[in-house]
Amino acid sequence: MAKKITLFCSAGMSTSLLVNKMREAAKKNGKDYDINAYSLSEADAKGADADVILLGPQVRFALSKMKGLFPNKPVDVIDMRSYGLMDGAAALALAEKHLK
Q: Which residues are catalytic?
A: 9
Instruction: Tell me the backbone φ, ψ of residue 76, rounded to 5 degrees.
Output: -145, 170
> Do 78 and 33 form a contact (C-beta atoms < 8 A)?
no
d(CA 27, CA 79): 22
Closest to 49 in 3D by CA, of 30, 36, 61, 68 = 36
